[in-house]
């Protein structure tokens, strides 16, 4: 009897797997969740500008006067992330806060845009050209820091100073939170199944002081991340970013560099701060106690003055 049941059991398991794969494929490639209907209060407060570069229409703001500084937010973030950084820097700098491809209210019109380090560095260059900047200081957080780092490695003549906030760039431990998005089919399904609640939980995990992640902060990010184009771009970036490339070229960074890290970063270990500083020629690292991955939002009173002092030096 047992021998006769095995083929039936195997067929049942195979049929179940086919159904599961079919359901996953439908969720990943056919079904689209409903986008948020939230109207950004932050957009109503700022003066949005747009720069058309052919393949990308950049959304950005300009604040203050002085030497130019460009702010690049992390993955699944947008220029709202810099709301407490911009006023401090604008006291002595012209501050450009820009949504990169995959972020906020920037639109990618080139269907062949490459969501990898070369593509994102090229986007930074296109933005600088579009707003008339030959050189600027760059401040980048997380993935935005990795893009800034690679730009400084490959275009050293265009970077005055570089600030990296909890930024991957070493051939070292990756953020486990993004690993699922690297798996074909599973990554697309996970992105489409991401709800506002899951997005909020993920955002809170980047803070040590989780009370700073208010409903308004969640809604400001979820409003644009819930759009299919931005979800797809996030998945493409998770697969396209190879930090072995940044690691290999760390010695090519010519700009003075400040590396800040939250001591309680649960995404990337704080030991990576000194690892980067040891390999970048003119770099210093500082780890801030009681802060998480989004160090400039989590602990603005500690992090932002360090950035302003470094850029003013």
pLDDT tens digits, 107-160? 999 999 999 999 999 999 999 999 999 999 999 999 999 999 999 999 999 999
Whether 266 and 236 have beta carbons less than 8 Å apart is answered as: no
Where along the chain do its domains lie? 41-312
How far apart, in whole angstroms, are the C-alpha atoms of residue 62 and residue 65?
9
- pLDDT score, position 59: 98
- pLDDT score, position 1: 44
Round the average pLDDT of the chain to a whole number and report it: 92
CATH of region 41-312: 3.40.50.1820
Model pLDDT for residues 9-65, shown as the tens digit of each residue = 666 655 554 545 565 454 555 547 788 999 999 999 999 999 999 899 999 999 999
**0.85 exceeded by pTM:** yes
- pLDDT score, position 26: 43
- Tell me what percent of the residues of the chain surpass a pLDDT of 90: 86
Whether 267 and 142 have beta carbons less than 8 Å apart is answered as: yes
- Tell me what percent of the residues of the chain surpass a pLDDT of 70: 90
Report the range of poorest mean pLDDT among 131-135, 149-153, 188-192, 287-291.
Answer: 188-192
Sequence-ordered strand ranges (E) for the chain: 49-52, 56-63, 68-72, 94-99, 107-108, 136-141, 159-165, 257-262, 283-288
Mean pLDDT across 78-99: 98
Structure tokens at 244: 């072995």
Structure tokens at 120: 């994102």
Q: What Å distances lie between residue 205 and 4, 115, 238, 246, CA to CA? A: 51, 25, 18, 26
């Amino acid at each position: 009897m047992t021998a006769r049941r095995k083929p039936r059991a195997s067929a049942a398991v195979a049929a179940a797997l086919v159904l599961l794969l079919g359901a996953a494929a439908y969720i990943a490639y056919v079904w689209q969740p409903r986008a948020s209907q939230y109207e950004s209060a932050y957009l109503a407060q700022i003066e949005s500008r747009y720069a058309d570069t052919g393949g990308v229409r950049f959304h950005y703001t300009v604040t203050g006067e002085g030497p130019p500084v460009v702010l690049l937010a992390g993955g699944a973030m947008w220029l709202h992330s810099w709301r407490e950084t911009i006023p401090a820097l604008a006291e002595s700098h012209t501050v450009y806060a820009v949504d990169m491809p995959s972020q906020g209210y920037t639109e990618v019109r080139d269907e062949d845009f490459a969501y990898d380090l070369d593509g994102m560095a090229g986007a930074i260059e296109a933005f600088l050209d579009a707003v008339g900047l030959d050189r600027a200081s760059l401040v980048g957080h997380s993935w935005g820091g990795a893009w800034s780092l690679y730009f400084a490695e490959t275009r050293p003549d265009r970077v005055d100073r570089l600030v990296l906030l909890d930024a991957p760039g070493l051939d070292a431990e990756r953020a486990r939170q993004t690993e699922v998005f690297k798996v074909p089919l599973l990554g697309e399904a996970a992105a489409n199944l991401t709800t506002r609640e899951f997005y909020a939980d993920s955002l809170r995990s980047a803070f040590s002081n989780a009370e700073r992640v208010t409903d308004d902060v969640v809604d400001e990010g979820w409003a644009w991340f819930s759009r299919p184009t931005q979800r797809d771009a996030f998945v493409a970036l998770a697969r396209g970013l190879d930090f072995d490339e940044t690691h290999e070229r760390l010695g090519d960074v010519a700009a003075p560099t400040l590396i800040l890290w939250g001591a309680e970063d649960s995404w990337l270990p704080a030991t990576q701060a000194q690892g980067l500083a040891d390999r970048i020629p003119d770099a210093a690292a500082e780890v801030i106690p009681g802060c998480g991955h989004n160090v400039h939002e989590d602990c603005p009173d500690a992090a932002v003055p360090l950035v302003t002092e470094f850029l003013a030096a």
